[in-house]
Structure 1
Amino acid sequence: MSHRINYRKPVRYELMYGREAIRAIRDFPVGYLPIGCLERHGDHLPMGLDVIKAHKICCIVAKAIGGVVFPPHYYAGTHNMTCQQLAKYTGEWGNIYTDATAKDSLVDVINQLALAGIKVLVLYSGHYPQSQIDMIREIADDFKAHPTITVIPFCESLIMEGDHAGISETSLMLYLDKEMVNMEAIGEENYRDHGWSEGNAPEKATAARGERDVKEIIAYLKSEIEKALS
């Protein structure tokens, strides 16, 4: 099913003015919180890819369905790594993970969003190792006892085959903002570092695939939001 996207509709909370922001929440009390971390995605995608991607998709979903998109949270990504692994992936690659604080930080933010009037919150993680999926699901479970807000945990890998800077994420970014993709910088070294194969090679990425995947995300989240509001 195709969803009409109103590209002129203001959805970004941080860009709204005073009563405009409050009215937006009152009119349709659905929020989107894009989260993730700063992490190397080859040399052809930006360090903030996970959160940039999640934020851009949240804005499209909100323009199609309704709701308010809250500012992206770059310091809400976990990876459950050993000190030796962190020495490589943070010390050498520059990845920034916040395992010790991510969950508590998000719970604090979500409690504030509930107080502001949000009834349904899509917690969209553009970063999705198993530790991250477990965390957003745990947060959603914890909020089941909350009297006013429902949290919908989401990442792309829950409904489609995801990857790390391969065909899936590269296709999404070619659709969302092709200026952020440098296909000439993929390089053989990144195949070794990121474990790409023939099947998920980033060179096979297309904007058409990215658009198809975004439409699938819109349809899925529309269904989940409608169930939560019913």
Structure 2
Amino acid sequence: MRYELMLPHQIRAAIAAQTPVILPLGVLEYHGEHMAVGMDTLAVTRIFDRLEQEVDLVLLPPFPFGAASLAVAGPQSGTVHVDADRFQPFAEALFTGLLRTGFRNIHAVVHHQTENFAAGMPTDLAFRFAARQALFRFLEAERGEGWWGDNDMADYYAQHDNGTDPFNWISVHPLMDARITASYPFDHAGIGETSLMMALAPEAVDAARLDDNTTWYTETARDASAELGETGVQLILDRWRALLA
């Protein structure tokens, strides 16, 4: 369900059912001459477009204005970079708003720069920190100071072990985990991402443009195919079916 199209009674039902809420995160970044600048955002939104057909989800409008960085190409390429400290307050306010509405099963999903997700990159780190800040402030406002030390929280570590403690109300994830990238190429505008777009958003790829400005990171894109992309799509869908089950 698209959140902006939901009626109030549907929102109440989704909250009562603990329906997963998905926030797609992305950037607008140069991906060679052959691919749309919204690739990182489209990878997330198009995956959940598919998953929505089989799993109950609440899909929030995507946030595509992350910290793209200018490491790949300058702004004249179409990259739109926003410093993370500019949107972190927005992220905290957004998460706080979702918590106040009643959602407790929120998942922000990012594809940009996630090859070292454990260490983090500006976009995901900003949203991860914002999620923690929102949770701490919301819990203190709702339960009062000292809420964690109260005897009512004596089972906190048991909640933590089974994933039901309050700090799991908001999670930030990479679209693809290490298991997927071990069997599907993870790259920037190369065979992996180009194939993924051919499968998910073919209108975002023009292979004839590959000769316009070939760079080291796009060289393998010549071997991209929708068939390979579909292999990646199925791996990603399998992961998210299990994660949201």
**Same topology, TM > 0.5:** yes
Contact 2:29 2:68 in 1 (8 A): no
Is 1:216–2:235 an aligned residue pair?
yes
- After superposition, what is the alpha-carbon deviation per residue over 1:30-76, rounded to whole angstroms, capped at 9, x for unaligned? 11111112111112221222112211112223333321110011223
Q: Whole-Å Cα distance in 1 between the matches of residues 16 and 81 of structure 2?
A: 35
Equivalent residue letter for 1:95: T
Matched, 1:123 2:123: no
Equivalent position amino acid for 1:123 in 2: A
- In structure 2, the partner of 1:176 is 200
C-alpha distance in 1 between matches for 2:6 and 2:238: 26
Alignment pair present for 1:107 and 2:92: yes
Per the TM alignment, residue 203 of structure 1 is displaced from its structure 2 partner at its CA by 1.9
The 8 Å contact of residues 34 and 73 in structure 1, kept in 2 or not, is answered as yes
Q: 2:172 & 2:124 partners in 1: Cα distance?
A: 8
Matches within 5 A, 1:1-230: 11-79=1-69, 89-90=74-75, 92-99=76-83, 100-128=85-113, 130-139=121-130, 141-142=132-133, 145=136, 147=139, 150-159=169-178, 160=181, 161-187=185-211, 189-192=213-216, 195-197=217-219, 201-226=220-245
Mark the structure with the bigger radius of gyration. Answer: 2
Change over 3 Å in CA distance of 1:128–1:212 after alignment to 2:
same
Q: Which TM-score applies when normalising by structure 2?
A: 0.71
Unaligned runs of 5+ residues in structure 1 are 1-10
For 1:26, give the aligned amino acid: A
* Residue of structure 2 equivalent to 1:5: none
User: When the two structures are aligned, how many residues end up with a matched partner?
Assistant: 205
CA 1:25–1:45 in structure 2 vs 1: closer, same or farther (change >3 Å)?
Answer: farther
Shift in Å at residue 121 of structure 1? 1.6
Q: CA deviation at 1:142?
A: 4.7
TM-score of the aligned structures, taking structure 1 as reference length? 0.75
Amino acid at match of 1:207: A
After TM superposition, the structure 1 stretch with the greater mean CA deviation from structure 2, 48-57 or 207-216, is 207-216
Shift >4 Å, 4+ stretches:
139-149
Contact in 2 for aligned 1:28/1:67 (Cα 8 Å): no
Q: 1:215 to 1:26 in 2, by over 3 A?
A: farther
Q: CA deviation at 1:124?
A: 0.9
Cα distance between partner residues in 1 of 2:223 and 2:129: 35
What SS is found at the alignment partner of 2:196?
helix
What are structure 2's unaligned runs of at least 5 residues? 115-120, 140-165
Task: Report % sequence identity.
Answer: 23
- The answer to whether the 8 A contact 1:32-1:70 is kept is yes
Q: 1:196 to 1:181 in 2, by over 3 A?
A: closer
Report the Cα distance in structure 1 between the residues aligned to 2:214 and 2:9, rounded to whole angstroms: 48
